[in-house]
Amino acid sequence: MLWLRQEHQGKISHEYARWLIQRPPSAAPRPRVGKQVADAIRAAMKGQEPGRINHAVRQGQMYADFLIMLVNRTNWVVLNDSEVRGLKIALFFERLRNAALSDDEAQAVNEWSVILRGVVTDLLSLQAASELIRNKYFEGECILLKDVLEEFEQQIKIVQNMMEVYDRVASGAGQPERATDSESVGQIVSEQASARADYIVAVAKSKMLNDFDEPEAADAVIKPYFLEGLC
């Protein structure tokens, strides 16, 4: 939490990456926080049986490393999809313009709305997934870098504005079931958010376990998701 508040929050991704590159490997977050955790545990358990201390140190370092990996992974997922989301949003405006010029405007708008609902559920489920992770593992602290968060919030705002306009049209046309804020859409967002959060956590945990020389445990954590993809 100290690392998150002092070194991560409010930072811009490329500036933070440049800052890390300029520092020696031992000053990177993972080894440095790991050492701080080890020192704190040894101080708190001073005088106890060495084997017990060593076990506690390893467990503490693994969990701290997992949390850092979880922050990094969540930021990567949000940032990696940002450009694609931006292109999709731009495409929506173009599709809507084309729908107004279509010979069958009603059909074109219906097709547009289907795509909109898909993007809405994808974007909102990712937002909800990041919030689930933030609340469960970081006591509600912001875990997204400044530019990642700002771009994400801007895209959400744009899509929400599109949702509101479309929902007013759907309700005015007597078809509230087509609204993007319907109960069915909310349920899909909730289910996808839980699944996405679980996957992000699994990837971070698998990476941590592998780096702590526990490859079998790492494989066991991530294997169900690969098997699910094959089904």
Per-residue pLDDT, averaged over 107-126, amounts to 77
Query: Would you tell me how many other CB atoms lie within 10 Å of the CB of residue 104?
Result: 10
Q: What is the pLDDT of residue 81?
A: 81
State which H helix or E strand residue 194 sits in: helix 183-211
Highest mean pLDDT among 9-13, 50-54, 156-160, 225-229: 50-54
**What pTM was estimated for this model as a whole?**
0.84
**Is the pLDDT reported for residue 170 higher than 70?**
no
Q: Which residue has the higher pLDDT, 134 or 109?
A: 134
Q: Are 75 and 143 in contact (CB under 8 A)?
A: yes
Exposed, middle or buried by CB within 10 Å (0-12, 13-18, 19+), for 204? buried
d(CA 72, CA 113): 34
The C-alpha atoms of residue 193 and residue 134 are separated, in whole angstroms, by 13
User: Side-chain half-sphere of 175: how many Cα atoms within 13 Å?
Assistant: 11
Task: List, for residues 56-114, the tens digit of each pLDDT value.
Answer: 999 999 999 999 999 999 999 998 888 888 887 777 777 766 766 666 656 666 676 77
pLDDT at 230 over 50: no
Looking at residue 122, its pLDDT comes to 86
Angle (nearest 5°) at CA 143 between 141 and 147: 125
d(CA 203, CA 125): 18
φ/ψ of 139, rounded to 5, equals: 55, 35
The pLDDT value recorded for residue 231 is 44
Q: Which conformational region is residue 9 in: left (phi greater than 0), alpha (psi within -120 to 50 degrees), or beta?
A: beta
What residue segments make up the domains of the chain, in order of their start? Answer: 2-230
